[in-house]
Amino acid sequence: QVQLVESGGGSVQAGGSLRLSCAASGYTSSSRRNCMGWFRQAPGKEREGVAAIYTGSGTAFYADSVKGRFTISQDNTKNTVYLQMNSLKREDTAMYYCAAAEGVRGTYCSTAVGGAEKFSYWGQGTQVTVSS
């Protein structure tokens, strides 16, 4: 059973930056054929994909709404994925969730940002609040 623990959320003014972390444990294989993603959900809205990374290659994928502002990265030695968020806007305010899909191909991950159903494991979430 994969377990995900997020950290790094908080409150920041518009234009500021935050870095979220997601530590993963419990993978059944060391092959690193995994897709890890970040999603967010604001009150009254559906869960929205933000970014994903294929851990085998480090290839990253982004939603259009965050391209150029957010960067997803990984530290394989720590089984940790990061989401660096710059130039934050009020509309980025949401609960941010880390998600994982184990044992998948890179092509699977390339479309994973578009669908929460592609991920089997989820963290508890970390709140990001951006004020003007």
- Average pLDDT value for residue range 53-72: 96
Q: How far is CA 12 from CA 46, 60, 88, in A?
A: 23, 25, 8
Mean pLDDT of the chain: 95
CA 38 to chain centre: 2
**Residues 104, 88: Cα–Cα separation, whole Å:** 31
As given in the structure block, the two tokens for residue 24 are 């993963």
59/31: higher pLDDT: 59
Residue 30 has pLDDT above 80, yes or no: no
Query: Using 50, 70 and 90 to split pLDDT, how confident is the model at 86?
Result: very high
CB within 8 A of 46, min separation 6: which ones?
Answer: none
Q: Which residue has the tokens 């963290």?
A: 123
Residue 27: the pLDDT is: 85
Residue 64 has pLDDT above 90, yes or no: yes
Q: Which amino acid is at 126?
A: T
